[in-house]
Structure 1
Amino acid sequence: MTQQTAPQETTYSTEERRREIVRLLKQANAPLTGTTLADHFGVSRQVIVQDIAVLRAAGEEIHASPRGYYMHPPGRTVWRSVVAVRHTPEQTEDELLALVDVGVEVVDVIVEHPIYGELRGNLHIASRADVAQFMQQLRETKAHLLSELTDGLHLHTLEARTNEALVRAREVLREKGYLVE
């Protein structure tokens, strides 16, 4: 399924559509946007957002990223770690590139807000192309980073296919002076 898939002629019941969403996400080689799925099924993007929420509540491990929805393939072994880091907004690209270059995915960013408690933003950045897209969106939207709420202090959940990649990620962050220990 590509991002330009035309709407299907077939009409799906709600349950059929949800089963098909799971099937498409499991087979996709890249994240699928809500708009792409909506166009595929001939429904609104809001219907897809609701379908995804219901599927997640039912236990489907569907992930959302700025690039769209995706599911990890079955049987995929993933090592996970959380790191505390601090840097300026101008150092964000350097931090993200350093992490993806050692083979880790930056799953999210987490900050502790004095009023709201834990705030989390899904990132799912795993390649240099993902970093470039994230930085472009940041520039185009002029949005602020969550870490700006906490003077640059934030957490990242990292995932990798090997524990060695996570160890190397900590080493690189330490070398750059970003790791908070």
Structure 2
Amino acid sequence: MPSDRQKSGEARREKILQTLSQSAGPITGRSLASEMNVSRQVIVSDINLLKAKNEPILATSQGYLYMPAHPTSRVSRYIVCKHTPEQTEEELMLIVENGGMVKNVVIEHPVYGEMTASLMLHNPTEVKRFIDQLASSESALLSALTDGIHMHEVEAEHTAVLDRIEEALDQAGILYKD
């Protein structure tokens, strides 16, 4: 028979799922912790348990998102880029301002293989928030491990938008061409 502690953990995880599934945008671990009256580490553990049960929760730089599988008419493409850390905001802004959504960043590490980090950047406000968070944390970009070379999976309404994004990145000298 489950203990009261197990029951309260299960109830909290159900509340986390409900909160995330009803949210239009990402929710930070800190915000969930405050709402549930627990530490942020408890939320991280709960999210990991929910993911282990195949709940479609995505951890992004802006917080957690509930991402149920649903058919989409949107298209996506991996775009390979190379730039300095100072050009990161320009790169991301070119993508979102031309109608794309930056789903993630991917690098090919010589030891660890492919490493992917979810970004889910839809608009300039989210890009600015990401850049500010990066600056305040004094963290390095993943691309610092690969001499600036990385990929973004970019999603858009149609392939013409993806073509326009690649052209803008090329004109800025950011699109990687071997």
The equivalent of 1:179 in structure 2 is 175
Tell me which of 10, 16, 22 is aligned to 1:21: 16
The aligned residue for residue 33 of structure 1 is: 28
Q: Bigger shift: 130-139 or 169-178?
A: 169-178
1:59 match: secondary structure: coil
Q: In structure 2, what is the Cα distance between the partners aligned to 1:15 and 1:86?
A: 45
Q: Distance in 1 between matches of 2:154 and 2:45?
A: 27
- CA offsets 1:14-54 (integer angstroms, 9 cap, x no match): 22222221221111122111111111112221221112112
Relative to the length of structure 2, the TM-score reads 0.84
CA spacing shift, 1:162–1:73, aligned 2, 3 Å: farther
Query: Is the CA contact (8 Å cut-off) linking 2:56 and 2:68 kept in structure 1?
Result: no
Structure 1 residue 116 and structure 2 residue 112: aligned?
A: yes
Gaps of at least 5 residues in structure 2 are 1-6
Q: CA, structure 1 residues 160+73, in 2 after alignment: closer, same or farther (shift >3 Å)?
A: farther
C-alpha distance in 1 between matches for 2:94 and 2:18: 34
1:39 partner amino acid? S
SS of structure 2 residue aligned to 1:82: strand
| Partner of residue 59, structure 1 | 54
Question: Counterpart of 2:86?
Answer: 90
Q: Does 1:105 align with 2:101?
A: yes
How many matched pairs?
170
Deviation at 1:73, TM superposition (A): 6.5
Distance 1:167 1:57, change over 3 A: farther
Name the SS of the counterpart of 1:13 in structure 2: helix
1:66-81 to 2 correspondence within 5 Å?
66-72=61-67, 75=70, 77=72, 78-81=74-77
| 1:164 positional shift | 3.5
In the alignment, does 2:166 pair up with 1:170? yes
TM-score of the superposition, structure 1-length normalised?
0.82
Alpha-carbon distance in structure 1 between the residues aligned to 2:175 and 2:56:
29
CA distance in 1 between counterparts of 2:47 and 2:134 reads 25
Amino acid at match of 2:143: S
How far 1:57 sits from its partner (Å)?
A: 2.0
- 1:167 and 1:18 mapped to 2: Cα distance? 42
Q: Tell me, in whole angstroms, the C-alpha distance in 2 between the residues paired with 1:164 and 1:25.
A: 33
Runs of 5+ in structure 1 lacking a partner?
Answer: 1-11
